[in-house]
A = this chain, B = another copy of it.
Amino acid sequence: MVNLGVKLKDLSLKNPVMTASGTFGFGEEFEDFIDLSNLGGILVKGTTRHHREGNPYPRMAETPSGMLNAVGLQNKGVENFCSEIYPRIKHYDTNILVNVSGSVIEDYVETAAMINDLEHIPAIELNISCPNVKEGGMAFGTSCASAAEVVKAVRQVYKKHLMVKLSPNVTDITEIAKAVEAEGADSVSLINTLLGMAIDAETRKPLLSTVTGGLSGPAVKPVALRMVWQVFNAVKIPIVGLGGIMNAKDAIEFMLAGATAVQIGTANFIDPQVTEKIVVGIEDYMKRHNIQDINDLIGALQVR
């Protein structure tokens, strides 16, 4: 028996495979396809202080080996989450993390505080990197000062595991990672989507109502891997790696680059069973390579 369990500080995962926020609904959408208890954790939809309608249609465009989205954090707000959704999903035998988004610091703080009270939510992922909200979700993630500020404020009220999700749309992601580490983040997850754009040459119009949107999928994998590797060499807190993971091989690459756990996003749309398959695939890889403990893979890249 190989050991697949990993720890993000105090947070134990039965295996390193989690889902990426915004691509896995509230988990319920996948109950027909997989057994959620086989996953290390699930990240539910981006949740904000207040109800948000999101952006107008069209919100999606396919791109080479990837997709752009401009959902814009459509959600019913944190109160609805606590009263309606939480009771429905809290029994899941896996770690349920809430992705907390906002446009002003008070919103982040209030949302985090409310979720702090939910017994079966052991952690939040602070989304300071969403490119699809005008008012500034991403702006927080693109400067050290503002990233530090929001993490510091949330840290005051949030007492459990605080994961911070970083934006790749920056010159030096290690600076941001160090800034949030210094303010008490327990882990960082990266990457969120790259800001991109698509045009229909025939109609001469943008394919998204918002003109620009967030790029995800295998197209971004090389950038994501590089950033995980850079951040691994810059901070001490654990890293959750994501961006274009489609199979177990990809997941292992992220772990070799320094990720303690991974998240699967866009791949869920193409194969709703992919997360379970990745858990099995990682186990197979370990057996084939005679690795007893998955923790031996973390950051095990052999650089000449």
A252 within 8 A of B: yes
Check if A253 sits within 8 Å of B199, measured CB to CB: yes
Q: Please report the C-alpha to C-alpha distance between residue A113 and residue B94 in the assembled complex, in whole angstroms.
A: 64
A256-B201 in contact given A64-B221, A171-B170, A221-B64 (Cβ < 8 Å)? yes
- A201-B253, A218-B219 known; 14 new pairs, CB 8 Å cut-off, are A63-B221, A64-B218, A64-B244, A65-B65, A65-B218, A169-B171, A196-B225, A197-B226, A198-B222, A198-B253, A201-B285, A203-B302, A204-B300, A211-B229
A8 within 8 A of B: no
Residues of B within 8 A of A301 (CB): 199, 204-206
Verify A222–B197 contact, CB threshold 8 A: yes
Q: How would residues 55 to 73 of chain A score, 1 for a CB under 8 Å from any chain B CB and 0 otherwise?
A: 0000000011110100000
Report if A163 contacts B (CB, 8 A).
no
On chain B, the residues within 8 Å of A257 by CB distance are 197, 199
A27 CB to closest chain B CB, in angstroms? Answer: 27
Quick check: A222 and B196 within 8 Å, CB to CB? yes
Q: Does A134 contact B (CB under 8 A)?
A: no
What is the interface size of chain A, counting residues whose CB is below 8 A from a CB of the partner? 48
Name A residues whose Cβ lies closer than 8 Å to a Cβ of B.
Answer: 63-66, 68, 142-143, 169-172, 194-199, 201, 203-206, 209, 211-212, 215, 217-223, 225-226, 229, 244, 249, 252-253, 256-257, 285, 300-304
- Among candidates B201, B212, B244, B303, residue contacting A206 with C-beta atoms closer than 8 Å: B303
Listed by A's residue number, 28 A-B pairs whose Cβ atoms lie within 8 Å are A63-B222, A64-B65, A65-B218, A65-B219, A66-B219, A143-B171, A170-B171, A171-B171, A194-B223, A195-B226, A196-B223, A196-B226, A197-B225, A197-B257, A198-B225, A198-B253, A199-B225, A199-B301, A201-B249, A201-B252, A201-B253, A205-B302, A205-B303, A206-B301, A206-B303, A212-B229, A218-B219, A219-B220
Kindly list chain B residues whose C-beta atoms are within 8 Å of the C-beta of A199. 225, 253, 256-257, 301
